[in-house]
Amino acid sequence: MRQAGRSLPEYRRVRADVPMLEACARPDMIVEITMQPVRRHGVDAAIYFSDIVVPLKAIGLDLDIKSGVGPVVADPVRDADGIKRLRELSPDDVPFVTEAVGTLVGELGTTPLIGFAGAPFTLASYLIEGGPSKNHERTKALMYGEPELWNDLMRRLSGITLEFLKVQIAAGAGAVQLFDSWVGALSAEDYRTSVLPHTSWIFERLGELDVPRIHFGVGTGELLSLLSEAGADVVGVDWRVPLDKAAQRVQPATALQGNLDPAALFAPWEVVAERAGDVLSRGRAAEGHIFNLGHGVLPDTDPDMLTRLTEFVHEESQT
Ligand code: 1CP
């Protein structure tokens, strides 16, 4: 999740004069920001500080991350010529990743580092829409209307994503997470036809590398069995489906991650504790459970609430 987000004063301090994409390309910033939530909250794993659009920037696309908005693409990709601009990613395009991951693995010691990338559908949505989108209408127009172009785009994005994850794994990341944040916008049938073959391809290739693979999307209640079919070891669940129900929807031997509502952290502590306790007890129905929020930390979250939550989960999961 976007753990550091903007909830930590120390994060805001180091980011004050550094634009997001510059921070994502500077090993000193990556290391510091990745370590901040580990130091402050004592979480069990670190998530590599980056963004899903970093590999797209690295292959030369003109895009930026605007504060309070998200990724914005100067010249959206909407036709065959646009798709041709998506060349393959080489490890030499992202030397800062190799350097930062290497340093982090040393600093983290026994705490694992989770690497991540955006999944092809979610990346395609930013590229086609030109920025964050509520309805993904241009994305769906291409997907429904021009399946050959769509598949070409998805194949190219899958290659870039796989390579970006492989760079992180080669440098020492102990697990990887594929974020298909906006895929919940699709019906199961459209997901099966237009997305599943591509994410399956990525997970199959990652399977050769022997690191745990996590797959996450928002609003994916109806897609959980298909997301799991794509081949991850762990499926992330937002807050809309309780974990005992989610456990029945995924493939056998698949663990779950989640799924406390990030907005619940704005309620009084007793409510947070009760809800977190419920997540933990329902999570026992799953093959394995990584406690997490159902989506990223909201920027106005009280950091002390996160520390208290981490302590609570550690205490409760020992029993
Ligand atoms: O702890 C960490 O620092 C995590 C690093 C991280 C991750 C895992 C960031 C930093 N981004 C991401 C992944 C990411 N980026 C996803 C997938 C996970 C998710 O769903 O949260 C997505 C969809 C994005 C795209 C993105 N980047 C958005 C969402 C926009 C939208 O469409 O609603 C935003 C706001 C960003 C910017 C961003 N990325 C990360 C941070 C800390 C920020 C905020 C930067 C700022 O405004 O200063």
| Domains identified in the chain and CATH numbers | 4-317 (3.20.20.210)
Q: Which residue has the tokens 């090993």?
A: 27
The arithmetic mean of pLDDT across residues 107-136, rounded, is 98
Q: Whose CA is nearest to atom 1 of ligand 1?
A: 3
Residue 4 has pLDDT above 70, yes or no: no
The arithmetic mean of pLDDT across residues 139-150, rounded, is 98
Instruction: Identify the pLDDT of residue 2.
Output: 64
- In degrees, rounded to 5, the angle at the alpha carbon of residue 250 between the alpha carbons of residues 290 and 157 is 85
Q: Whose CA is nearest to atom 46 of ligand 1?
A: 67
Q: What tokens does 166 get?
A: 């492989």
Percent of the chain exceeding pLDDT 70 equals 98
pLDDT digits (tens, 9 = 90+) for 260-303: 999 999 999 999 999 999 999 999 999 999 999 999 999 999 99
pLDDT digits (tens, 9 = 90+) for 85-98: 999 999 999 999 99
Instruction: Identify the pLDDT of residue 68.
Output: 87
Other beta carbons less than 10 A from residue 281's beta carbon: 12
Instruction: Identify the pLDDT of residue 318.
Output: 87
Q: Tell me the C-alpha distance between 54 and 29, whole Å.
A: 14
Active-site position among 11, 40, 48, 51: 51
Nearest to 220 by CA among 193, 248, 240, 200: 240
C-beta of 155 in contact with ligand 1 (< 6 A): no
Q: Is 6 a catalytic residue?
A: yes
The arithmetic mean of pLDDT across residues 148-162, rounded, is 98
Q: Which residue has the tokens 């989506």?
A: 295
Phi, psi of 166 (to 5 degrees): -65, -35
Q: Tell me the C-alpha distance between 90 and 59, whole Å.
A: 9
C-beta of 5 in contact with ligand 1 (< 6 A): yes
Strands 213-216, 289-293: pairing kind = unpaired
Nearest to 86 by CA among 179, 152, 6, 177: 152
Instruction: Identify the pLDDT of residue 1.
Output: 59
Strands 234-236, 213-216: pairing kind = parallel
Q: What is the 37 CA–ligand 1 centroid distance (Å)?
A: 15
C-beta of 219 in contact with ligand 1 (< 6 A): no
C-beta of 55 in contact with ligand 1 (< 6 A): no
The arithmetic mean of pLDDT across residues 22-28, rounded, is 98
What is the per-residue burial (b if ≥16 Cβ within 10 Å, else e) of 53-67?
bbbbbbbebebbbee
Angstrom distances, CA of residue 197 to CA of 9, 193, 202, 251: 42, 7, 9, 17
